[in-house]
Amino acid sequence: MNNTDTEVLVLGGTGKTGRRIVDRLLALGVPVRVGSRSAQPAFEWEDRSTWEPAMRGIHAAYISYYPDLAVPGATDAVRDLAQVAVAAGVQRLVLLSGRGEEEAEAAEQVIRTAGADWTILRASWFNQNFSESYLLDPVIAGEVVVPAGGVPEPFVDADDIADVAVAALTEDGHVGQLYELTGPRMLTFAEATAEIGKALDREIAFVNVSPAEYAAGLAAEGVPEDVTELLMYLFTTVLDGRNSSVGDGVQRALGREPRDFYDYAWDTAQQGIWDRA
C-alpha cells in the first residue's frame, strides 16, 4: 500500500535535495511540511523546542542534517530528533547520509534502531555542489581551485536522490534498505570541471592546491572557520579514495540508471546558471 495521503515532513526542505523532494511530493498530491528555519512552524537544529511542533501529525520524515553528519554533536542531535519523532507518532524515517563518513554511519545506526520504519540514503558528493553551493561562484568566475588531487568520485545528482527519497517516503518497498547513491561513473574534480567547460563551450580552469593553500584561500575570502574545517574534512578525509567506486542504490531503488554528470552539466548550462553577470 502506498502512503500518499498523510503528511510528510522534509527537513532541509529548501535545500539541494529537500526542495526537489518537496516539489515531487506536491506534484503527487502528498501533503508536505517543510522543516527549516524559514518554514512555518520554524524548525531549527539548535533549538529543540522547535522539533516536536514540526513532527506533530507527521507520518514520514526526511532527515537532512545541517551542515553535515560529520560535525560534532550531529549523532546526538539525530538520536534525540528520532526519539521526538517516534514519540510524536512518526512511523517512517528516511535519513540522508554521507558516503565514506564514519560519523554519518553512527547517525545511520541511530535511525535504524529508533523504533520506526527506516531507509538510509548514503550519498556521494552531489553534482549540484557545482551549481547550488560553494563551487558555483568559482565556475562562474572560470576557475575551480580545490585540494582534490586525482581522486575519482562518483558524483550523484540531487534529482536522483530526490526520486529515491520520494519513493522511500511514499512506497512500502524501501523499508529497511540502505541505498548507496552515486552517479554512473567516476570523475576527478578536474574531469568534472572540464565537462562543465565543455557543456558551456568555455574554458573553466582547474587548479589543484595543497590543503594548506586551500585553507589559507578560504580564510582570505572570510569563510567562517567551521565551514573551512568542514570543507577541509571533506576534501582531505572523505576524498581520500574510499569512495572511488560506484554504488547501485539508484538502480535498486528505482530500476533505472542514475543521471550522468555530463547530462547534469549540459542541462545546467542551458539554464544559464553558470552565465557571467
Q: Which residues bind ligand NAP (CB under 6 A)?
A: 12-18, 36-38, 43-46, 64-66, 68-69, 96, 98, 123, 125-126, 129, 133
The nearest distance, CB 201 to ligand NAP, in angstroms, is: 26
CB of 129 closer than 8 Å to CB of 135: yes
The nearest distance, CB 101 to ligand NAP, in angstroms, is: 7
Which three cell numbers mark 105? 554511519
**H-helix or E-strand containing 206?**
strand 205-208
Q: Closer CB to ligand NAP, residue 38 or residue 49? A: 38
Residue with cell 568542514: 230
Q: Closer CB to ligand NAP, residue 55 or residue 123? A: 123
The nearest distance, CB 159 to ligand NAP, in angstroms, is: 13
Q: Closer CB to ligand NAP, residue 3 or residue 109? A: 109
Residue nearest to ligand NAP (CB): 15
Query: Residue 32 pairs with which residues in a beta bridge?
Result: 8
The nearest distance, CB 248 to ligand NAP, in angstroms, is: 17
Q: Closer CB to ligand NAP, residue 3 or residue 66? A: 66
Calculate ∠ Cα 51-116-64, nearest 5°.
Answer: 50
Q: Closer CB to ligand NAP, residue 53 or residue 173? A: 53
DSSP 87-109: HTT--EEEEEEETT-HHHHHHHH
The nearest distance, CB 254 to ligand NAP, in angstroms, is: 18
**Spatial CB neighbours of 213, under 8 Å, sequence gap ≥ 6:** 147
CB of 207 closer than 8 Å to CB of 144: yes
Inter-axis angle of helices 18-27 and 158-170, nearest 10: 50
